[in-house]
Structure 1
Amino acid sequence: MSGQNESPYYFVPHPSRHPILAACGLLVMLSSLAAWINGHSFAPFTTLIGLLFLLFVLWHWFGDAISESEGGMYGKRVDVSYRWSMSWFIFSEVMFFGAFFGALFYARAIALHELGSLDYKLIWPDFSAVWPNNGPAALVPHFRAMVPWPLPTINTALLLTSGATLTVAHHALREDHRRKAIGWLAATVLLGVIFLFCQGYEYFHAYNELNLTLASGVYGSTFFLLTGFHGFHVFLGGTMLAVVLVRMMRGHFTAEHHFAFEGAAWYWHFVDVVWLGLYVVVYWL
């Protein structure tokens, strides 16, 4: 945010076409997804159109915000607004993952033990309440559970290392060592990319060697929902950091004003913390 000393008391943007256009893109994309699920042949094409249109709108929307920031329009009060907005956004993500962790807890600690109690022995006499399992009726094909070594542990090391490199980059930017900050931030983005490639290989291994799929009962569904949504958040956080990296290479940000960097860093550290919870609950317990 350069030029903040000359910024207005509070910046009010001009009327924008971006919100309505983004809503139209979302409407096309989501309605097409619903049609895709119901087997309509046109749906994949229109889903792609809606997604590309939405990305096009977001590109210009974010570009306008960057131009306003670099033009000195964002003062201290706008900075506070952005910080509160990012804080509430991350809180909503905490609740999002909390729902999935809660579903896993309910399946393991409540539903599973209830199905294995004496009340259900007459219905399923051979059922054993151990995790994971293929259900009391054994309708799910046999599968093997995912183990914490080697890929999950390697991914944990990658994310923890990326959190450290991001912190070094942040301190370098605050000390106005731009080249050092760019190097360490690039390393952070690279570690995130490697994490995603490792997770992709893990899914390939699960489907082809463990017979573990999204349809493998409650274990398979919770495993892929938790790890898959986390992988999407790694992709989203990595995209944020990549944009910040490009902006830094173009000379954006100063040692005092760089909330875009800080907001992306907050999100990345949140992603790290969620993975630690996943690593313990999903792979070890």
Structure 2
Amino acid sequence: MMKHRTTQRHPFHLVDPSPWPLVASLGGLLLTFGGVLFMHNYQGGGELLILGILTIMYVMFTWWRDIIREALFEGQHTKAVQQGLRMGMILFIVSEVMFFFAFFWAFFTSSISPVFNIGGVWPPVGIEAISPWGLPFLNTVLLLSSGASVTWAHHAIVGGFREEALHGLLATLGLAIAFTAMQAVEYLHAPFAMSDGVYGSVFYMATGFHGFHVIIGTVFLAICTLRLYSHHFSRQRHFGFEAAAWYWHFVDVVWLFLFLTIYWWGFNVII
């Protein structure tokens, strides 16, 4: 009997069966259950939490490894697939924008109409706000410089200058690590804590989650640096790097809003 050969007549990628969605969901289950048990001091909660974190990290590595293989070696990422990936990354960044929107909403609600139990003024009575012209301004310079260097790396990849792109990415990583270090120094010397009312809560939640995003973006760019060194990117196919660059520019813009509102405007306004 003759075997009929199936031919793909569309540009989309129908992925092969994969265990990673199931393993990821189990890791998430272990992570949430372990976290709740750990926070309530149940025996074994910490071990369950660590197991969930390790499971999630393992799935992240293996799942993204498979995606890199599908794109680089199997040629599955056609223009239609790349367009879908771009749209997915854009929607993810939009969701992150709304995440930070909640923190800015909390800040402006508390600062424009300060309630009587914090003295009716902003910053609240007893709070010594951090001057924006010290470490915050230095961090602004570092982060804006990193945005310029990652753009340099992007243009170098498009132009086919691999060595220049590597230099640009290494410069971006150095600036990102310096930013995180300066943020840690600021936290260590801050004259208030997260428990100091609404000011401390809003400040540490907004800047802390931004710092977390900086760390994620740094890891993202570090992996892109390794992939570029391993010749994974070409002038036409480098969406992995584009996604990292978009994410990093998003981090830059969020910091600009943080600097202008929480640091500068919040430091100078007295209502």
**Alignment TM-score, normalising by the size of structure 2:** 0.91
Deviations 1:156-190 (A, max 9, x none): 00000000001111111111000110111111011
Runs of 4+ displaced beyond 3 Å: none
Offset of residue 41 of structure 1:
4.1
Deviations 1:116-145 (A, max 9, x none): 4xxxxxxx7xx63211215xxxxxxx5422
2:79 to 69, 76, 81: 76
Residue 54 in 1 paired to residue 38 in 2?
A: no
Q: Does the residue aligned with 1:103 lie in a helix, a strand or coil?
A: helix
Amino acid across the alignment from 1:95: M
**Alignment TM-score, normalising by the size of structure 1:** 0.86
1:129 to 113, 120, 139: 120
2-structure distance, mates of 1:31, 1:107:
34
Specify the alignment match of 1:263 in structure 2. 243
Offset of residue 261 of structure 1:
0.7
2-structure distance, mates of 1:35, 1:96:
26
2-structure distance, mates of 1:80, 1:163:
24
2:147 to 147, 154, 163: 163
2-structure distance, mates of 1:48, 1:149:
40
Deviates more, 1:227-236 or 1:27-36: 27-36
Residues 237-252 of structure 1: pairs in structure 2 closer than 5 A: 237-252=217-232
Q: Does the residue aligned with 1:14 lie in a helix, a strand or coil?
A: coil
The runs of 5 or more residues in structure 1 that have no matched partner are 1-6, 117-123, 135-141
Q: Alpha carbons of 1:41 and 1:202: their partners in 2 closer, same or farther (altered >3 Å)?
A: farther
1:31 to 20, 30, 33: 33
Whether the 8 Å CA contact 2:33–2:48 is kept in 1: the answer is no
2-structure distance, mates of 1:61, 1:98:
30
1-structure distance, mates of 2:51, 2:183:
28
Amino acid across the alignment from 1:86: M
Offset of residue 213 of structure 1:
1.0
1-structure distance, mates of 2:132, 2:154:
31
Amino acid across the alignment from 2:146: S
Specify the alignment match of 1:182 in structure 2. 166
Specify the alignment match of 1:119 in structure 2. none
Whether the 8 Å CA contact 2:12–2:78 is kept in 1: the answer is yes
Specify the alignment match of 2:255 in structure 1. 275
Specify the alignment match of 1:120 in structure 2. none
Specify the alignment match of 1:139 in structure 2. none
* Alignment: residue pair count: 256
Whether the 8 Å CA contact 2:224–2:241 is kept in 1: the answer is yes
Offset of residue 107 of structure 1:
1.1
Amino acid across the alignment from 1:154: L
Offset of residue 256 of structure 1:
1.3
Residue 152 in 1 paired to residue 136 in 2?
A: yes
Amino acid across the alignment from 1:155: N
Whether the 8 Å CA contact 1:169–1:185 is kept in 2: the answer is yes
Residues 222-237 of structure 1: pairs in structure 2 closer than 5 A: 222-237=202-217
Amino acid across the alignment from 2:199: Y
Whether the 8 Å CA contact 2:11–2:81 is kept in 1: the answer is no
2-structure distance, mates of 1:70, 1:255:
13
Q: How much identity, in percent, do the aligned residues show?
A: 41
Offset of residue 15 of structure 1:
1.0
The runs of 5 or more residues in structure 2 that have no matched partner are 1-8, 266-271
Specify the alignment match of 1:138 in structure 2. none
Specify the alignment match of 1:201 in structure 2. 185
Q: Alpha carbons of 1:73 and 1:31: their partners in 2 closer, same or farther (altered >3 Å)?
A: same
Residues 99-110 of structure 1: pairs in structure 2 closer than 5 A: 99-110=102-113
1-structure distance, mates of 2:119, 2:62:
56
Whether the 8 Å CA contact 1:33–1:44 is kept in 2: the answer is yes
